Amino acid sequence: MASSVEVIVPDGTFYAYLAEPRSVPAPAVVVVQEAFGVNADLRMTCDELASKGFIAVSPDLYWRQQPRVELSDKTDWPQALALYEALDLDQAVSDLQATIEQARAMTWCTGRVGVVGFCLGGLLAYLVAARVGVDAGVGYYGGRTDEFLGEARAVRGPLLMHLGDQDEYIGPAAQKAMRDSLTPLGVEIRTYAGCSHAFARHNGAHFDAKAAAKANVRTVEFLNQHLFE
């Protein structure tokens, strides 16, 4: 079942898409957007997670700039890039913390909350794990993660990352730095041969059905392991 909720923060409220499983109580997963907002692709991901037994909540992180904007990866790159570059990452982490806390307090939530993010959201999943702590975190091709490896030792909670070895935004040096810093700390990094950035985006230019399916199965197994206890 799909609906929406309003997340309350000190300077206002913002929309979050909500997809609920057939059976509750259930753990929650905060699904963090790419540069394109909470669009049809992201809502599809939420619906898929709900079908696996999770409460999926996807907050609008652009609400201070352009509330409820939905962009296409086919036609809206300039607008998406402008919003992405203007986003305050510290504020975004704070908004995600508020979303996590509100999800945890839902009467139909078990109290366990994970975070799954894509691209921008992949970076934010890592930052939330480092700055807030998570019951489980998953980052798909989190661009710029290598710029924040100084925070690696602060990560609290299990963390899984998915990377394509041909990612044009996360090159070999960045991926090596991520593995060198994060793997010794217990972060699980999975690499997908021949895959570019956004290989798991539904109907995206670089969508790889086989790799996406494998990554998504690993994600659900990881969430099951850490959120259903």
Give the active site residues. Answer: 167, 197
Least Cα distance to 32 among 9, 62, 8, 12 occurs for 62
Q: Identify the band that residue 2 occupies on the pLDDT scale cut at 50, 70 and 90.
A: confident
**Exposure of 143 in the CB half-sphere (CA atoms within 13 A):** 15
Whole-number pLDDT of residue 77: 96
Q: What does the pLDDT average to over 199-209?
A: 95
Helix-, strand-, coil-residue percentages of the chain, each rounded to 5: 40, 25, 35
Least Cα distance to 123 among 159, 76, 86, 72 occurs for 159
Whole-number pLDDT of residue 229: 72
48-83 burial: b if 16+ Cβ within 10 Å, else e: bbbeebbbbbbbbbbbbeeeebbbebeebeebbeeb
- Please state, in angstroms and rounded to a whole number, the distance separating the CA atoms of residues 139 and 32: 9
Return mean pLDDT, the chain. 98
Q: What is the pTM of this model?
A: 0.97
Query: Phi first, then psi: what are they for 114, rounded to 5°?
Result: -110, 170
Which domains are assigned to the chain?
Answer: 2-227 (3.40.50.1820)
pLDDT tens for 7-46 read 999 999 999 999 999 999 999 999 999 999 999 999 999 9
- Please state, in angstroms and rounded to a whole number, the distance separating the CA atoms of residues 223 and 200: 17
Q: What does the pLDDT average to over 57-61?
A: 99
Beta-bridge partners for 7: 14
| CA 120 to chain centroid | 8
Q: Residue 175: which residues within 8 A CB-CB, separation 6 or more?
A: 146, 163, 165, 167, 191
pLDDT tens for 96-116 read 999 999 999 999 999 999 999
